[in-house]
Amino acid sequence: MTASEKPYVVLHNAVSANGRITGFEADQALYYALAGTWHEDATLVGSGTFLAVPGPFPEEDHHAFEPPFEIGTDNRPLLVVPDSGGRIRFWHYLKSLPFWREGIALCTGATPADHIDYLEKRHVHVVRVGEDRVDFSRALALLRDEFSIRTIRVDGGGTLNGVLLRAGLVDEISIVVSPCLAGGNPDGIFREPGVSAGTITLELIEARALENDHVWIRYRVAKCA
Ligand SMILES: NC(=O)c1ccc[n+]([C@@H]2O[C@H](COP(=O)([O-])OP(=O)(O)OC[C@H]3O[C@@H](n4cnc5c(N)ncnc54)[C@H](OP(=O)(O)O)[C@@H]3O)[C@@H](O)[C@H]2O)c1
């Protein structure tokens, strides 16, 4: 597949200074303000990311079964969720959020039939690509051809990022570094024995771009939580 046959794919993540994407409080306002940079046609959100959203969600009502509004001026992106296992059963909530105009569930031959039925009844587009897990190479080509998606911003955890990166499907990585060290990282510069603890807050001294694409960030350690 050539680059022109798939959408432009950007991973956008908030990380702690020791490279974690969980275990600290990212500045959501800053993260989402930057998320508009690419004017994405679709947001790809991992099922693991949605399953980590703390509930409870509101009860489902008749709105869940209404088709999306057909307004030509609606420029909001589409929401795309790879969910071969049919674990996302709160599409009524996702549809009620103001960020996306319509939803697409990426399913496979392994997705339970009753889940396909669940999605169709709620007017969530079903795209089947792959036997067991989602085949992203095919999925991206299909999203481009059938939904005119040219740019996708990925809001995923390490798993989705890893699958896309290893498949050679990522064009850009965007990282917003939070001024803290998140506890409990087995591989980071900050390891701690036992259970994961709180974060260590940092204050920026200086950030400088260096030769050969290096970035030098100096932080002052402000507070150990
Ligand atoms: N700091 C940040 O910027 C940031 C951003 C987003 C998320 N997060 C955090 O990341 C955590 C979730 O991360 P996660 O890694 O558990 O989940 P995730 O990356 O959000 O979701 C995993 C996704 O990968 C798919 N997948 C897994 N194995 C696959 C394979 N072999 N082939 C194709 N697709 C595959 C899954 O699809 P199936 O359902 O089909 O298996 C699922 O959609 C949450 O705590 C969330 O808050 C942080």
Q: How far apart are CA 99 and CA 225, in angstroms?
A: 33
Ligand 1 neighbourhood includes 16 CB (under 6 angstroms): no
* Mean pLDDT for the stretch of residues 33-40: 95
Among 163, 169, 199, residue to substitute to test ligand 1 (most atoms within 8 Å of Cβ): 163
* Mean pLDDT for the stretch of residues 171-198: 77
Q: How far apart are CA 94 and CA 80, in angstroms?
A: 11
**Does residue 225 surpass a pLDDT of 90?**
no
Token pair 């409080």 in the structure block, residue:
25
Among 85-89, 117-121, 206-210, which is the least confidently predicted range? 206-210
Q: Which atom of ligand 1 approaches the CA of 21 most closely? A: 1
pLDDT level of residue 224 (50, 70, 90 thresholds): low
Q: When comparing pLDDT for 224 and 131, which is higher?
A: 131
User: Contact at 8 Å (CB) between 164 and 6?
Assistant: no
Residues 6+ apart with CB under 8 A from 91: 64, 103, 105, 118, 119, 122, 124
Ligand 1 neighbourhood includes 22 CB (under 6 angstroms): yes
pLDDT level of residue 193 (50, 70, 90 thresholds): low
CATH classification code of 3-180:
3.40.430.10
In this prediction the pTM is 0.93
**Does residue 20 surpass a pLDDT of 60?**
yes
Q: What is the pLDDT of residue 212?
A: 84
Mean pLDDT of the chain: 90
Helix residue ranges per DSSP H, 17-167 = 28-35, 47-51, 91-96, 113-121, 136-147, 158-166
**Does residue 135 surpass a pLDDT of 70?**
yes
Q: How far apart are CA 202 and CA 15, in angstroms?
A: 13
User: Contact at 8 Å (CB) between 78 and 42?
Assistant: yes
- The closest alpha carbon to 81, from 157, 145, 13, 150, belongs to 157
Q: What is the pLDDT of residue 215?
A: 85
Ligand 1 neighbourhood includes 49 CB (under 6 angstroms): yes
User: Contact at 8 Å (CB) between 183 and 151?
Assistant: no
Q: What is the pLDDT of residue 114?
A: 98
CA torsion sign for 14, 163, 114, 43 is positive
| Phi-psi category of residue 39: left, alpha or beta, with phi > 0 → left and psi -120 to 50 → alpha | left
Domain segments of the chain as ranges: 3-180
Q: Which atom of ligand 1 approaches the CA of 26 most closely? A: 1
- The closest alpha carbon to 90, from 132, 45, 129, 128, belongs to 45
Q: What is the pLDDT of residue 3?
A: 45
**Encoding tokens for residue 115?**
């889940």
Q: How far apart are CA 50 and CA 42, in angstroms?
A: 16
- The closest alpha carbon to 136, from 165, 173, 100, 178, belongs to 165
Tell me whether residue 190 is exposed, middle or buried, using C-beta atoms within 10 angstroms of its C-beta: 0 to 12, 13 to 18, 19 or more. Answer: middle
pLDDT level of residue 68 (50, 70, 90 thresholds): confident
Ligand 1 neighbourhood includes 163 CB (under 6 angstroms): yes
